[in-house]
Amino acid sequence: MNKNPSIMIDDDVAILDILRQSLCMEGYTCEAFTRAEDALAALERKPPDVLLTDIVMPGMRGLDLVDRAKQIHPDMTAIVMTGFVEEFSYEESIRAGAADFIKKPFTVHELLVRIKHGKLQDHLRSLAITDELTGLANRRGFFAFTQQQMRHAVRNSERMVLFFADLDDLKTINDTFGHVSGDRALADTAQIFRETFRDSDIIARMGGDEFAVILGNAPDSGITTVRDRLEKRLVEYNARREGTFRLSVSVGLAIFDPARPVTVDELIRQADARMYEQKQAKKSARGPG
């Protein structure tokens, strides 16, 4: 039995009824919609286990829905349906975040096989883009997710913000308390980031002591709120760490302007330079030694 519902979208009510009845018989809890916009509102309320959508829809296209849905719930498996194979682009579907596609008409057995295959593909992809120590996205995952987010930002004229963070004094923690404590510091920092940022934000460990977060459609007030919340979480954490290591991070910001788009590498370069400035300012404030 699936913990979360499966969401199906098709503008043909008869097809939706058949799909819903068939999947319910297989243990799925299903919600069906004829409009992608309604389905998007539903999945924003509760993450679905599987998204099954037709490509050709009135209003929002099925692939645009997949793109938006995967940004909100990256772990969701998306399967696209099409009756127009000659007009179908497998590459575009994968780029949008779909794990597989199925051609209409199809049998329930074939659909179940496609769902199982899609879940396996998503699981293997997740292993390849996940940092083993922290459970966050790794550098490869960050680039894949961010490039997808950039395309969305350009299409919708939305800016996004990159937080580039460095865990201060990790070498000192390793030298003083041992590498097990250093790993613990990295894992705890990752958890603080999870508690600070939204589920829809892209959080990654870029390697070593570096972390990156992408905030989509973030206003200036939201950036200030997030920085204050991060500082509060660190203060609360350090208050509990009597006699052991304390956590501190240096952060640099870079803004992605959809009217003047840059590459992911350039965005990181900008944020990294500002992060380095903050780190140097901290060292100067502490003085020599």
- Regarding predicted confidence, which is higher, 2 or 223? 223
Q: Which CATH number is correct for 6-128, 3.10.450.50, 3.30.70.20, 3.40.50.2300, 3.40.640.10?
A: 3.40.50.2300
Q: For the chain, what are the domain ranges?
A: 6-128, 139-286
Rounded to an integer, the average pLDDT of 103-128 is: 88
Beta bridge pairs of residue 220 = none
State how far the Cα of 210 lies from the Cα of 201, in Å rounded to an integer.
Answer: 17
Model pLDDT, residue 86: 65
- In words, the CATH class of domain 139-286 is alpha beta
- pLDDT at 140 exceeding the cut of 90: yes
State how far the Cα of 93 lies from the Cα of 70, in Å rounded to an integer.
Answer: 12
Rounded to an integer, the average pLDDT of 1-10 is: 70
Band (pLDDT 50/70/90 cuts) for residue 272 is very high
Express each pLDDT in 50-98 by its tens digit. Answer: 999 998 888 888 889 998 888 888 889 999 988 876 666 777 888 888 9
Cis before 261 (ω within 30): no
Contacts of 232 (CB under 8 A, 6+ apart): none
Model pLDDT, residue 288: 63
- pLDDT at 22 exceeding the cut of 80: yes
Model pLDDT, residue 178: 94
Nearest CA-CA partner of 151 in 72, 69, 67: 67
Beta bridge pairs of residue 8 = 32, 52
Model pLDDT, residue 1: 44
Band (pLDDT 50/70/90 cuts) for residue 166 is very high
Percent of the chain with pLDDT over 70: 96
Rounded to an integer, the average pLDDT of 245-250 is: 94
Model pLDDT, residue 4: 62
Model pLDDT, residue 74: 82
In SS3 terms, the chain reads as: CCCCCEEEECCCHHHHHHHHHHHHHCCCCEEEECCHHHHHHHHHHCCCCEEEEECCCCCCCHHHHHHHHHHHCCCCEEEEEECCHHHCCHHHHHHHCCCEEEECCCCHHHHHHHHHHHHHHHHHHHHHCECCCCCCECHHHHHHHHHHHHHHHHHHCCCEEEEEEEECCHHHHHHHHCHHHHHHHHHHHHHHHHHHCCCCCEEEEEECCEEEEEEECCCHHHHHHHHHHHHHHHHHHHHCCCCCCCCCEEEEEEEECCCCCCCHHHHHHHHHHHHHHHHHHHHHHHCCC
Model pLDDT, residue 26: 83
- pLDDT at 18 exceeding the cut of 50: yes
Residue identified by tokens 């200030």 is: 224
- pLDDT at 243 exceeding the cut of 80: no
Residue identified by tokens 């997808």 is: 148
- pLDDT at 247 exceeding the cut of 50: yes
Rounded to an integer, the average pLDDT of 209-218 is: 91
Rounded to an integer, the average pLDDT of 239-252 is: 89
Model pLDDT, residue 270: 96
Residue identified by tokens 């508690």 is: 195
Q: Do domains 6-128 and 139-286 have the same CATH topology?
A: no
Q: How far is CA 71 from the centre of its chain?
A: 5
